Chains A and B, each alone.
Chain A
Amino acid sequence: MDKVKTILLIEDSPGDVRLTREAFRGVEDVLRFHVASDGAEAVSFLRREGVHGYAPRPDLILLDLNLPRMDGRQVLSVIKQDDGLKTIPTVVLTTSVAEADIEAAYQLRANCYLAKPVEFDAFESLVRNVSVFWLKMARLPPQNQALC
């Protein structure tokens, strides 16, 4: 039996949050789905600071690039420079298709980069694809990594 997976979505658009949450729930109905609506909150959640003292460690992070307070690129570099967090697969999901953003995200060790389509149906289908691939196909690092 798979353990219940925890997803952290870092996204400031309420519409995109709703759509992403629904797509993920459609693929796996038992899921802990957390949302941070800006970069600073995402980092507090991941570091279990303040109100996030008991936050679970996410199995997968979905990260928008353009965020209030702290930019997604900065959040990505915090995650990938932290020995406790860097193994968490971090998927960039953003409206930007600029090659410089794609290149920079991979330089900062994003696990993969996806551009949000403008049309609703295409967006929904992309998010479903992301959730099927990462939840059903990929092997994610275990929550407890003490054995390694």
Chain B
Amino acid sequence: MNRTVLLVEDSPGDVRLTKEAFRDADPEIDLRVVVDGVEAMTYLKREGVHVDAPRPDFILLDLNLPKMDGREVLAHIKEDDDLKTIPTVILTTSDAEADIVTSYKLQANCYLSKPVQLEEFESLVKSINDFWLTKVKLPQQALSN
């Protein structure tokens, strides 16, 4: 099944790494990238250039983003009746307990810290694919649209 993943990430290096790791794990994945929080919301609300954007099955969200913070993006997603069922996983360099607790309070589905080592980062993305996009049952788009 073709999965659409929305990656909300401003670091070009991490975007590239994530793209490559997903491509290695499953080339069928349709990975869409937005580089700040405002663009993430524009994408999810299908506004402007994103009017024909496919609804993501899964969202990977960095916390520290330009224009609109990842925490705010998360709050918007989880307050929106149409978007809130989309599993949203935080992927960030922060491992501060306050960020972990805040994210789960804002209903992040899961919180992951970005490893510093390249190989560990690749292996984490592979685990995300193996678990969230393979084992986990994601909500069907038709029901929530």
Contact = CB atoms under 8 A, between A and B. Distances in A.
Contacts, number: 82
B47 interface: no
A112 B109 contact: yes
Interface residues of A, number: 31
Given A87-B105, A106-B85, A145-B101, A137 B112 contact: yes
B101 A126 contact: no
Contacts of B87: 106, 112
Given A112-B87, A139-B111, A148-B98, A106 B132 contact: no
Contact of A102 (B102, B111, B139): B139
A107 B87 CA distance: 11
B100 A139 contact: yes
A102 B137 contact: yes
Interface string A113-139: 111000000000010011011000111
Contacts of B42: none
A115 B101 contact: no
B140 A114 contact: no
Contacts of A86: 104-105, 107
B1 interface: no
A46 to B, nearest CB: 16
Contacts of B112: 137-139
A111 B86 CA distance: 10
A40 to B, nearest CB: 25
Given A99-B143, A102-B137, A106-B139, A111 B109 contact: yes
B140 A138 contact: no
B29 interface: no
A138 B101 contact: no
A54 B120 CA distance: 39
Contacts of A102: 137-140
A133 B85 contact: no
A103 interface: yes
Contacts of B97: 141-142, 147-148
B136 A138 contact: no
Contact of A148 (B102, B136, B139): B102
Interface in B105-141: 105, 107, 109-113, 124, 127, 130-132, 135-140
Given A103-B143, A133-B127, A139-B113, A112 B132 contact: yes
21 contacts: A86-B105, A87-B104, A88-B104, A102-B137, A103-B144, A106-B84, A107-B84, A107-B85, A111-B109, A112-B109, A113-B136, A133-B131, A137-B124, A137-B131, A138-B111, A139-B100, A139-B111, A139-B112, A142-B101, A148-B97, A148-B101
* The 9 nearest A-B residue pairs measured at CB: A106-B85, A87-B104, A148-B101, A133-B131, A139-B111, A113-B137, A103-B143, A111-B109, A112-B136
